Amino acid sequence: MARPNPTVFALSASLPCHLFFKKYEPSDVPRLVGLLVVSPTLVAFLCQEESGNLLKSLLRTCSLYYCGLILSILSYRISPLHPLAKYPGPVACKISKLWLTHVSSGGKLHVYVKGLHDRYGPIVRVGPNELSINDSSLVTAILGPNGMPKGPLWDSRRISGKKSILIGARDYKNHAEARNISALK
C-alpha cells in the first residue's frame, strides 16, 4: 500500500482541525489534546516511511500540521469570508490580538485606538473578532432599544431575605415593579 505524501497529508489534515475550532471553539482539555496532539501524531504514523526515523517523521509532520493550521486561521481572518471582513482596520489587528497587546503594554492604547478611528472612521476592526465603535448614535442599533440585559452574575447580588431588589433585577417587568414600590416608600 502506498503511503500518502506527508507534506500534502499533514497540511490537508490541519484544515478540518481549523473548521472544528471555528465551529465549536473547544476549551476543554481532552478535545484540545485530541486536536493538537493526537491528530498530528496520527498523521505522522500514517505517513511514516517503513525504514524512516519515527522521531524525525513526527517532528516534520507535526510542524507541517501546525503551520497548515496557522496559515488556515490567518488566511480566514483576512479573507472576505470572515464575518467582520467589511470593517476596516490594520491587518495586524485583523490577524491577532498580539499587536494591541504590544500597544497597550506601552500605556497608550487609547491614543492608538483614537488614531485608528481618525484614519478608518467610527467602526474599526481592532481584533480578529472585535470591533471598536466610537459613534454614540450606534448604541441603540448595537444593544437594542432596551440596552444590554443583565447577565447571570446579577443573580448572586440579592440581599438575603429580599425576593427582589432594584439593582439586581434582570427582568424588565420585575425591575419596573421594584422601582414603583421603592418610589412609594
Are residues 45 and 25 both part of a single domain?
Answer: yes
Residue 53 within a domain:
yes
- By the 10 Å C-beta count (0-12 exposed, 13-18 middle, 19+ buried), 106 is classed as exposed
Which DSSP category does 167 fall into?
A: T
If you compute the radius of gyration of the chain from its CA atoms, what whole number of angstroms results?
Answer: 25
| 1 located within any domain | no
Instruction: From 26, 55, 78, give the residue that closes a domain.
Output: 78
Looking at the fold, whether 122 and 72 belong to one and the same domain comes out as no
Whether pLDDT at 161 is above 60: no
> Which residue's entry shows cell 417587568?
173
What's the chain's average pLDDT? 85
Could you give the count of Cα atoms lying within 13 Å of 43 in the half-sphere of its Cβ? 29
Q: Are 17 and 39 in contact (CB under 8 A)?
A: yes
Q: Is 74 part of any domain?
A: yes
Question: What's the structural domain count of the chain?
Answer: 3
Above 90 in pLDDT, residue 163?
Answer: no
For residues 112 and 137, state if they share a domain: yes
> Is residue 160 classed exposed, middle or buried when 0-12, 13-18 and 19+ CB atoms within 10 A define those classes?
exposed
Q: Is residue 83 part of a domain?
A: no
Query: Predicted confidence band at 164 (pLDDT cuts at 50, 70, 90)?
Result: low
Q: What is the mean pLDDT of residues 19-48?
A: 89
Alpha helices (runs of H) in 5-108, residue ranges in sequence order: 6-24, 29-33, 39-47, 54-78, 91-95, 98-105
**Buried-state track 126-157, b at ≥16 Cβ within 10 A, e below 16:** bbbeeebeeeeeeeeeeeeeeeeeeeeeeeee
Within this chain, do residues 57 and 13 fall inside the same structural domain, yes or no? yes
Top-confidence residue, 154 or 130: 130
Burial zone of 53 (CB within 10 Å; 0-12 exposed, 13-18 middle, 19+ buried): exposed
Note whether 11 and 70 are same-domain residues.
Answer: yes
Domain assignment of residue 115, given as a range: 91-142
> Does residue 35 belong to any structural domain of this protein?
yes
Q: What per-residue confidence (pLDDT) applies to 94?
A: 96
- Output the pLDDT for position 168: 65
SS3 163: coil
pLDDT tens across 49-90, in order?
666 687 888 888 899 999 999 999 999 999 999 999 999 999
- Nearest residue to 86 (alpha-carbon basis) of 113, 110, 114, 121: 121
102 and 52, same structural domain? no
- 149 vs 27, more confident: 27
Residue 126 lies in a domain: yes
| Mean pLDDT in residue range 85-113 | 95
Q: Which residue's C-alpha cell is 427582568?
A: 171
Q: Are residues 153 and 128 in the same domain?
A: no
Do 121 and 168 sit in the same domain of this protein? no
Tell whether 110 is covered by a domain. Answer: yes
117 assigned to some structural domain: yes
